[in-house]
Amino acid sequence: MYNVRCAMCNCVCGELALTEGKCTQFVHCFDSMAETEREKRMKLSELAANAALKQELSEIMQKHTLPHAVMIDGAAGTGKRTLANILAGYCVCTAAEQKPCGQCSGCMKAQKQIHPDIIIADGEETGALSIDAVRRMRSSAYIVANEAPMKVFLLLNCDKMQIPAQNALLKILEEPPENVQFIMTVRSASAMLPTIRSRVRVFSLFPAGVQEAVQVVQKRLADKTEEEILHAAEVCDGNIGRMLQMLESGGEQASLLAEQMLTAIMQSAEYPLLTLAGQLNSRNLAVSVLDCLTELAAESVRASVGLAVSSAAAAAMAERYSLKRIMKLAETIQDARNLLNTNVNLNLFGTWLCAVLRTQ
């Protein structure tokens, strides 16, 4: 029995397997949703906080002036995917006005992720944003859309896109075919080449304030107490995605531990970090902590380039360490994360991790 809610339809369906927070049969759930609920999911109001951006996008949609290539940047959990889906829906909606309407066949297919004119490539999947994949996209971009007014390329998680692949993408962005829309999501726009950034319109998302985040999460997780939700909001500094993840997976411990470890890395004494690493007593916990540390390092990079971030430890690191040093640390964390996929001895791993994190 799964008691985790589907991120797509919010159901708690015991029979459904869950992948990345979505039940695998969300299509069914979506069909059984009330019309008003479907419509709501394609409205900008689904996004928390970011009032100025929502106002700006609402005007852009009304005037039909969405630039042909947009990049949505923001930390994990700030709603990049939600916004990307809304924009994709807007592009394929066939209603006369008020796009996306949430009711037409274009909107329905977009929501179910079965629209033939929305091509989704997720950088988290091996090879999805490789140079070959981008070249194939380029050929496909010149083929006219099947049923929508335009063809949409949804490039998710572009953070690790290699330079050759970015350059291939740049070629399409420089001479875009007609009626093609590119929507990218990335944790930090600084991960992309400046030449790409100059060709796209960047929309930045920021976490909600603690109070707003509590209200949003309370509606999603009725079984959690106000105290639990408030605590998560404070730890995650209003990042709704991270709060949901923490509260639903019991990941609170991992998140706290990662934040404490990041602070300990900056301390001159070795002991605090050793003690914290000693708490990594299960592989699952170690994986969660390293994933949180990866996220914190990315936050720190964002802080280094002057962007607002939610983690105090990440902000402190950005003040003390050079960008180069933080990038190096992020690489080390990634290496450690990869090591956990092998049959490594956890006791030795903790000690080794302390040593490599402190020699940065």
By beta-carbon proximity to Zn ion, the closer residue of 76 and 104 is 104
As measured in angstroms, the least distance from the Cβ of 118 to Zn ion is 13
By beta-carbon proximity to Zn ion, the closer residue of 104 and 193 is 104
Would you give the distance in Å from CA 307 to the centre of its chain?
16
As measured in angstroms, the least distance from the Cβ of 21 to Zn ion is 25
Q: Using CB under 5 A as the criterion, which residues of the chain lie in contact with Zn ion when the complex forms?
A: 93, 95, 100-101, 104, 107
CB 190 within 8 A of CB 299: no
As measured in angstroms, the least distance from the Cβ of 119 to Zn ion is 19
By beta-carbon proximity to Zn ion, the closer residue of 77 and 100 is 100
Residue with tokens 């959690």: 224
By beta-carbon proximity to Zn ion, the closer residue of 1 and 96 is 96
**How many other C-beta atoms lie within 10 A of the C-beta of residue 58?**
13
> Cα separation of 28 and 123, whole Å?
27
By beta-carbon proximity to Zn ion, the closer residue of 102 and 350 is 102
By beta-carbon proximity to Zn ion, the closer residue of 45 and 345 is 45
As measured in angstroms, the least distance from the Cβ of 273 to Zn ion is 53
As measured in angstroms, the least distance from the Cβ of 298 to Zn ion is 34
CA–CA–CA angle 334, 336, 340 (5° rounding)? 115
As measured in angstroms, the least distance from the Cβ of 105 to Zn ion is 8
By beta-carbon proximity to Zn ion, the closer residue of 110 and 262 is 110
The alpha carbon torsion through 49, 55, 61, 67 (nearest 10 deg) reads -80
Burial group, residue 203, by CB count within 10 angstroms (0-12, 13-18, 19+) = buried
Burial group, residue 350, by CB count within 10 angstroms (0-12, 13-18, 19+) = buried
Residue with tokens 């170690």: 286
> Cα separation of 94 and 99, whole Å?
8
By beta-carbon proximity to Zn ion, the closer residue of 107 and 273 is 107
As measured in angstroms, the least distance from the Cβ of 154 to Zn ion is 17
Sheet of 201-204, strand order: 118-122, 151-156, 180-186, 69-73, 201-204
Cα separation values, 87 from 46, 265, 287, Å:
12, 40, 33
Closest CA to 40 of 51, 30, 49, 52: 30
By beta-carbon proximity to Zn ion, the closer residue of 152 and 336 is 152
As measured in angstroms, the least distance from the Cβ of 183 to Zn ion is 17
As measured in angstroms, the least distance from the Cβ of 100 to Zn ion is 5
By beta-carbon proximity to Zn ion, the closer residue of 179 and 334 is 179
CB 94 within 8 A of CB 148: yes
> Cα separation of 84 and 153, whole Å?
10
State in Å, rounded, how far the first CA of the chain is from the last one.
44
Instruction: Provide the 3-class DSSP secondary structure of residue 322.
Output: coil
As measured in angstroms, the least distance from the Cβ of 122 to Zn ion is 24
